[in-house]
């Protein structure tokens, strides 16, 4: 029973996908279905009168979002990253009038004037929190050393001579690790290719992470579906 309870908690690492859908005249598109998949599970939200949507409670990972409206299907031009307890944003997506789009069977033809505005990554009001994504971890010179990776993320964290991590104003060892939602007293090095997100809370710690005078380090590993999507993407590019 204890194992089952732990496994259930470990899966509760969700975030949201938000954005706004408008037409070429910058008018909101109301009633479009914003949809994405995690394996065989579908997550969907409807754009409101202002064209805004929020796909809630999706597992942390990388997603391709598409929009369905009046029989047409349009894919967002870029994927979106979702971190636990945060959200990924597509900002404002603008595309040509729906009737100008063509679709044949399972293929979709997208017009050249499909515009994607730069994403703005903002954590949901649980600051101060710093975050590294999988792409940022990939190019870090210390990506295979978890403690050095964390120490380089936040000036409130330092690594002692014996390798321990210490948060400013706290005693050595006064910190909490969560790996895929499971509380741990220590975390060992993980393959950098398996890391999805690393987040460091040095203050204003969410109550769900427990009581500590130090900080919280949250590690989210990549799921089977994340790795499968990456593999399929590489295959499609002929890598």
pLDDT digits (tens, 9 = 90+) for 37-79: 888 888 999 999 999 999 998 988 888 898 887 767 788 878 8
User: The tokens 């002929």 sit on which residue?
Assistant: 238
The pLDDT, as a whole number, for residue 166 is 84
The conformation of residue 7, written as its DSSP 8-state character, comes to: H
Record the tokens describing residue 149, joined without a space: 């990776």
For residue 165, count other CB atoms closer than 10 A to its CB. 25
What is the longest distance spanned by two Cα atoms in the chain?
65
Which residues partner with 89 through β-bridges?
18
Q: pLDDT at residue 19 above 90? A: yes
Highest mean pLDDT among 105-109, 115-119, 215-219: 215-219
Q: pLDDT at residue 191 above 80? A: yes
Q: pLDDT at residue 16 above 50? A: yes
Q: Do the domain assignments include residue 206?
A: yes
Report how far apart, in Å, the C-alpha atoms of 71 and of each of 23, 67, 102 are: 16, 10, 11
Considering the domain architecture, whether residues 112 and 12 belong to the same structural domain is answered as yes
Considering the domain architecture, whether residues 73 and 177 belong to the same structural domain is answered as no
Q: Do the domain assignments include residue 236?
A: no
CB distance 214 to 175 below 8 Å:
yes
Give the chain's domain count: 2
The pLDDT, as a whole number, for residue 128 is 62
**Helix ranges, the chain (H):** 2-10, 134-138, 146-151, 224-236
Record the tokens describing residue 1, joined without a space: 């029973």
């Amino acid at each position: 029973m204890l194992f089952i309870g732990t496994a259930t908690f470990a899966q509760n690492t969700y975030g949201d996908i938000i954005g706004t859908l408008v037409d070429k005249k910058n008018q909101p598109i109301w009633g479009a279905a914003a949809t994405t998949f995690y394996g065989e599970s579908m997550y969907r939200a409807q754009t409101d009168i202002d064209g805004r949507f929020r796909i809630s409670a999706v597992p942390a990972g990388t997603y391709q979002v598409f929009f369905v409206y009046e029989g047409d299907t349009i894919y967002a031009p870029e994927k979106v990253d979702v971190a636990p307890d945060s959200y990924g944003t597509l900002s404002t997506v603008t595309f040509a009038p729906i009737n100008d789009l063509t679709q044949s069977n399972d293929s979709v033809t997208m017009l050249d004037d499909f515009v994607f505005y730069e994403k703005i990554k903002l954590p949901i009001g649980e600051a101060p929190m710093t975050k590294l994504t999988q792409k940022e971890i990939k190019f870090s010179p210390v990506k295979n050393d978890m403690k050095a990776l964390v120490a380089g993320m936040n000036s409130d964290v330092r690594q002692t001579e014996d390798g321990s991590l210490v948060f400013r104003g706290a005693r050595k060892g006064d910190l909490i690790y969560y790996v895929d939602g499971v509380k741990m007293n220590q975390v060992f090095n993980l393959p950098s290719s398996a890391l999805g997100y690393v987040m460091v809370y040095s203050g204003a710690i969410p109550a769900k992470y427990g009581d500590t005078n130090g900080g919280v380090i949250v590690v989210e590993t990549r799921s089977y579906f994340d790795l499968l999507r990456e593999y399929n993407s590489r295959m499609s590019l002929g890598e």
